[in-house]
Structure 1
């Protein structure tokens, strides 16, 4: 792993949250810098994001409250096979298989997780499929969990839409271009706990924190402890350690944005492996808010993106793209399509 001259840039997006207080030239400069970062890195740290420190602190406390429960209790809220809601036990998923890359042991990602998201009932006027907008399974055994998570989730929803406005400018699109593609967006948040599974006394070396993968939707907002573990693959095939800066949230692009831009903007490959000290994993927490877009939105190349003779991705809906990736994550079935990201991981160094 080589960390020379690699950094995830930090950018202040206050001008997109308080547009009247800033000039058009300030927003234009931020949009230009976002375009550069999304082309070259695919990860960006944002400050001026507007999410209160108290909300972030309460989110961390909520994760502590739930993940401290006995494993048997947590499993009472386990995720059903067809949903993306509830508890996932350690070693029940393999993120690398979302790219069709098997690990030494098929399901060996040692993190545990709890996922919540928007429900079909949130859009009562629409006939939305439960497969994409499933009901939540809030854990009553952790009474502080739901209110704290809901507060953060609501502010992350606002931030995602602020970022979409900035991305629209950065891509040189007409104002509101994405509005009809995100007005009933699939939005989910996966809260992760990286620690030895209950009953394990020592790290075996055969487990993976979270295998190499890309995120599936438009963008991800990541809150995480300042504990090593997150690694990003650069364009030269080298892995680099990344930790959030003070007060910053990490933002990375997902597959939908990469497909929309024909890889002008990259869906950044990343993985997680917290440090192991004397056979013990240094505990790490994170919460990834996935902003995926409408289930029926078609991902096809954006206007002005392709050069003459250049070939983009075939059109696919948001829901179809997610389903293709999730099959590998949860069942070990490799995606049927050849994925460009798979070749990048295969060629990467350790």
Structure 2
């Protein structure tokens, strides 16, 4: 088996496709829904994962109060000076703490070179699951690193930790739905995620006050696929997020009222042999009269246990598996080496080809 595009069945990307990110009410899985209601939710999720790889979910059960306190905490931190925020910067191998503008290039996680290399202008703050959460396991310290918290804030850590817990709950509800949608045993994914390498990345898309002199196409976050199983995304209702459709065109996606955006990661695409899509997306925040409109987002990456081996599900093999088995840790390491350390990922030929076709349109 190989990860090369030649080994995979050709995708029909030339036919026009109506692009729409569906809204799915998952409340039957959050509450005490009937079997029939849950079956309908699983059917809708399967359809969205097959056609788009992106969806919006409502009925997720995250209280508005928690979201309000969380977004207030984001403002409290990102409104600080760059020098102050940079005190919480960590080495590229440690996916924690602060990342300043133009310190990353998400397109390199796919092996796609960019003119300025580290040219994504978003800033971010990352927190994740720590090794101390699982004292009985010998987990690698770099991957399950201790979190870095602003020492002079009474609101940032509790608000972020509370939202982190809620987003993790939603991610696990989704994997329960995934098991039903894929006709797997209930709880199939639990053994792959019981010490999941989960990270919350809080993003701020804004440049310093003043006019922006554009000398090229402004990149908020470069073209990329997410790395793991599933991503739960809160985002402002501000334009900027774009998803690449099967027509190789970029489509704007704006969150519906009260909705969380959900997209699949590479590992789920590998698991299902591309029955489900890990969709390419990027951020292109609008520039209005020379000023970048501010946009915030927070992506909870539910990536799976670092030692879990991901191989094609038997029900999805079909004429043959498109991907060789890989551990979560091996896959995540290759992707992070691209985005955070500037090392081109040479194992993403299929995604590279789609990005290049879209750039030529």
Shorter-chain TM-score range: over 0.9
Partner of 1:253 in structure 2? 264
Deviation for aligned residue 1:332: 1.8
TM alignment of 1:54-65, pairs within 5 A: 54-65=65-76
Structure 2 equivalent of residue 156 of structure 1: 167
C-alpha distance in 2, partners of 1:118/1:203? 40
Cα distance in 1 between the residues matched to 2:341 and 2:63:
38
Please state whether the residue corresponding to 2:197 is helix, strand or coil. Answer: strand
Equivalent residue for 1:105?
116
1:129 aligns with 2:143: no
Contact between 1:110 and 1:197, CA under 8 Å: does it hold in 2?
no
Aligned to 2:82: 71
SS at match of 2:28: helix
Per-residue CA deviations over 1:5-25 (Å, capped at 9, x if unaligned) read 42210001011112xx32211
- Structure 1 counterpart SS, 2:38: helix
Which TM-score applies when normalising by structure 1? 0.95
**Aligned twin of 1:325:** 335
Match of 1:24 in 2: 35
What is the CA distance between 1:103 and its match in structure 2? 1.5
CA–CA separation in structure 1 for the residues paired with 2:156 and 2:53:
31
Deviation at 1:4, TM superposition (A): 8.4
Question: What aligned pairs does 1:182-221 form with structure 2 within 5 A after superposition?
Answer: 182-197=193-208, 201-206=211-216, 207-221=218-232
The two structures, once aligned, show a CA RMSD in angstroms of 1.5
SS in 2 for 1:348: helix
How far the C-alpha of 1:204 sits from its partner, in A, is: 2.7
Q: 1:319 to 1:336 in 2, by over 3 A?
A: same
Is the contact between residue 203 and residue 281 of structure 1 (CA under 8 Å) also seen in structure 2?
no
What aligned pairs does 1:1-350 form with structure 2 within 5 A after superposition?
5-18=18-31, 21-197=32-208, 201-206=211-216, 207-307=218-318, 309-349=319-359
Q: Runs of 5+ in structure 1 lacking a partner?
A: none
The answer on whether the counterparts of 2:17 and 2:247 sit within 8 Å (CA) in structure 1 is no
CA contact 1:41–1:266 (8 Å) conserved in 2: yes
1:8–1:43 contact (8 Å) kept in structure 2: yes
Q: CA deviation at 1:90?
A: 0.4
How big is the shift at 1:203?
4.2
* CA distance in structure 1 between the aligned counterparts of 2:57 and 2:103, rounded to whole angstroms: 32
Per the TM alignment, residue 82 of structure 1 is displaced from its structure 2 partner at its CA by 2.1
What SS is found at the alignment partner of 1:222?
Answer: strand
Taking structure 2 as the reference length, the TM-score comes to 0.92
CA contact (8 A) 2:92 2:341 kept: no
Change (3 A) 1:348 1:52: same
